[in-house]
Amino acid sequence: MPTATADDGTTPAGPEGAPAASPGAWRRLPTVVTVYGVVLTASLVDRWLLGDGLGAPAGGTVAAVTTVAIALPFTLGFVYGGVRLARGTLPAARFPRIARWWLGASGAFLVINLLMMTVWGTSTVAVAIGWLRFSLVFGGAGGLLVGIVEAGSIERARAAERARVRAERVADTREWLRYLNDILRHEVLNASNVAAGNASLLLDDDSLDEATRDRLAVIERACEDLDDVIREVRLLVASDHGDLDPRRVDLRPVLDTETDAVAEAYDGATVETDLPESLPVLADESVGRVFSNLVANAVEHNDGPDATVRVSGEMDADEAVVRVSDDGPGVPPDERETLFEPANDSTSDHGLGLHIVRTLVDRYGGAVELSDTGPDGSTFTVRLPRATDARDVFDANRETAAAGT
């Protein structure tokens, strides 16, 4: 009695709890098919082996050559089918269906032809062997072809279903992120602003003792830090939703604003710039966060009392290249590979800043890398696509069309 086979290619355990057949057994099907094709191809010389004793093939040379010419493409088809299964993308879970089609069609065709041989009879042994081989070759080849085609169709259908499920999950996740973004904006950020505002008002009271003033200053700084984190998370959510809309932005005034802001925010920090008059790129209003995070990161990770950061830029035919260099201690080797990944533990001090840098730059179609690092400092290189005239016209047309809808 044949063993039942599950759809995933495994053999379920029997009622007595016998262990299931190894799923790896079905992985040998391509080899079996290939060997089967080789054996059938080699058997085509049987008429010469069963010749008339004078070197001529049984049944005549013309009949023997005709038989080989007709059967050879199908026997070699088994060899090709086995190799294709071994090198293809069909998983072993589909092999049982292919085997059932192959063996089922071979058996059915063989039974039919055995009945025909019984009714009509055969004149020689060579004719009988050729007839049986004909049944196995043509029936099996047809069944193998149908099995492979059906298995491929099933796999494509399942892949499409998995893609649909993943798309639904992504849509659900994005909807949840939108909800989270609303909570951060309306609830958490507002509460943080209220706390920071009250702390700031209390700090204006000259009658406060020093200990109370220090605690209020801590509260104010914590609220500012919380505001920064909320804005960064919201920026990541907006990026994940595709809400960023790259358009022509001149980086020069953006870089001037961001470098001045960082220099004012950090005592002892010096930010030097070497920039062309214009740096037209494809970005949006969030592009300033890329460079404020890079410059602030350079200052915060400088061990010396004073930090010097140099921001330089240049244009070429296809992109703008901006380099942010510092005189810090360099990035430790064990942090370089995951430098742009979000921190997932308390041991990392890079937070979301560099992750946001990479996320935004990727969304703009650019690239960012740690191009140089060592004991004398590090250099981050940002490449953003140049805003060409053709893209400007395209964006203008798209905005016009959107305004008319």
Q: What is the pLDDT of residue 344?
A: 57
Final residue before a domain boundary, out of 199, 222, 243: 243
Q: What is the pLDDT of residue 250?
A: 93
> Are 228 and 274 part of one and the same domain?
no
Q: What is the pLDDT of residue 319?
A: 92
402 in any annotated domain = no
Strand 280-283 with 307-315, pairing: unpaired
Final residue before a domain boundary, out of 243, 269, 286: 243
11 in any annotated domain = no
Q: What is the pLDDT of residue 302?
A: 85
Range of the domain at 375: 247-394
For the chain, how many structural domains are there in total? 2
Q: What is the pLDDT of residue 244?
A: 58
Q: What is the pLDDT of residue 403?
A: 44
> Are 304 and 376 part of one and the same domain?
yes
14 in any annotated domain = no
> Are 216 and 289 part of one and the same domain?
no
385 in any annotated domain = yes
> Are 297 and 260 part of one and the same domain?
yes
116 in any annotated domain = yes
Final residue before a domain boundary, out of 243, 269, 298: 243
343 in any annotated domain = yes
Residue 350's CATH number:
3.30.565.10
Q: What is the pLDDT of residue 228?
A: 72
> Are 289 and 205 part of one and the same domain?
no
> Are 213 and 253 part of one and the same domain?
no
> Are 96 and 236 part of one and the same domain?
yes
> Are 59 and 172 part of one and the same domain?
yes
Q: What is the pTM of this model?
A: 0.49
> Are 330 and 389 part of one and the same domain?
yes
Q: Which residues of the chain have pLDDT under 70?
A: 1-24, 47-48, 50-60, 63, 177, 181, 185, 234-245, 343-351, 389-405
